[in-house]
């Protein structure tokens, strides 16, 4: 999974990568106040963070957080979760 995320990050611009890094840090530190976070429909532990066209999809079980997908919003963003 880490290789897939690295590949997706490589497609992003430097500015977008910086945004993603900050968002991930805030998610991991549970500093989510002010972030656009929603639970995904039909999934108990899947959430998405939205910032401009960037989407970060992650799972949260108790205090264990796992990044599932990082991508620009498109028709495939929420498929196959």
Return mean pLDDT, the chain. 85
pLDDT bucket at 81, cuts 50 / 70 / 90: low
Give buried/exposed letters for 8-31 (b at 16+ CB in 10 A, else e). Answer: eeeebeeebeebbeebbebbeeee
Domain 2-72, CATH homologous superfamily name and number: RelE-like (3.30.2310.20)
Cα–Cα dist 47/69, whole Å: 11
Q: What is the pLDDT of residues 41-78, one digit of tens each?
A: 988 899 999 998 888 999 988 888 888 888 887 776 66
> In terms of pTM, does the model score above 0.95?
no
């Amino acid at each position: 999974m880490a290789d897939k995320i690295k590949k997706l990050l490589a497609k992003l611009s430097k500015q977008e990568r910086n945004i993603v890094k900050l968002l991930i840090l805030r998610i991991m530190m549970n500093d989510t106040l002010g972030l656009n976070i929603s639970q995904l429909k039909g999934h108990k532990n899947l959430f998405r963070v939205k910032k401009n066209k960037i989407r970060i999809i992650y799972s949260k079980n108790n205090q264990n957080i796992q990044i599932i997908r990082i991508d620009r919003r498109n028709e495939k963003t929420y498929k196959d979760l």
